[in-house]
């Protein structure tokens, strides 16, 4: 069975072209390794990762907070084009985050704010391997300090930090072998 790698990160806000390119490279690397990319069926950095995976002929699954496609499009204003399949949870953002993370074998954080923090907390508590794209800003750039100073290895969750998207994916996948 193919591994499912989730990409979580900054949806809203202004994203630099550099961070969008890095997110796209993460998605491409996931697809090139034959893995399924999963994301929150949203915009911003996660969407860039999904687009990168699609450009590399990868398979992309979105997990939406909406209960159906109409709500996804009209209420949330989220695209559908980057997805091969969308799971409509109807659970709003917090519930969607739990479904998304629990559906993944590992996750990668790119930038992010409160939603990314929520996804990290679920993955950390459930000891899913976590990849951090260093230098992508937001919550992702705080995880190493948070784990070291606050969490102090409480759960022994594997965390890989790397600034190169391709190396990050390779190191994360090495943990799953």
Q: Is the pLDDT of residue 111 over 80?
A: yes
Nearest of 58, 94, 91, 88 to residue 73 by alpha carbon: 88
In this structure, what token pair is assigned to residue 150?
């606050």
pLDDT tens-digit map of 48-105: 999 999 999 999 999 999 999 999 999 999 999 999 999 999 999 999 999 999 999 9
Q: How many residues does the chain have?
A: 177
- Count of domains for the chain: 1
| pLDDT over 70 percentage in the chain | 99
Residues with Cβ within 8 Å of residue 81, at least 6 apart in sequence = none
Domain coverage including residue 116: 4-175
Q: Cβ distance 116 to 16 under 8 Å?
A: no
Residue 152 is predicted with a pLDDT of: 87
């Amino acid at each position: 069975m193919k591994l499912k790698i989730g990409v979580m990160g900054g949806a809203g806000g202004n994203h630099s072209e550099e961070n969008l390119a890095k997110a796209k490279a993460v998605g491409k690397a996931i697809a090139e390794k034959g893995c399924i990319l999963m994301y929150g069926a949203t915009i911003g950095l996660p969407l860039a990762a999904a687009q990168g995976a699609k450009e590399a002929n990868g398979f992309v699954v979105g997990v939406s907070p909406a209960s159906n496609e109409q709500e996804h499009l009209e209420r949330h204003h989220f695209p559908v084009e980057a997805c091969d399949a969308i799971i409509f949870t109807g659970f709003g953002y917090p519930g969607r985050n739990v479904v998304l993370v629990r559906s993944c074998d590992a996750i990668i954080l790119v930038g992010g704010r409160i939603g990314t923090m929520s996804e990290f907390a679920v993955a950390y508590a459930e000891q899913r391997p976590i990849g951090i794209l260093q230098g992508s800003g937001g919550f992702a750039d705080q995880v190493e300090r948070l784990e070291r100073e606050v969490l102090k290895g409480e759960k022994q969750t594997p965390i890989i930090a790397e600034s190169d998207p391709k190396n990050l994916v390779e190191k994360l996948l090495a943990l799953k072998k």
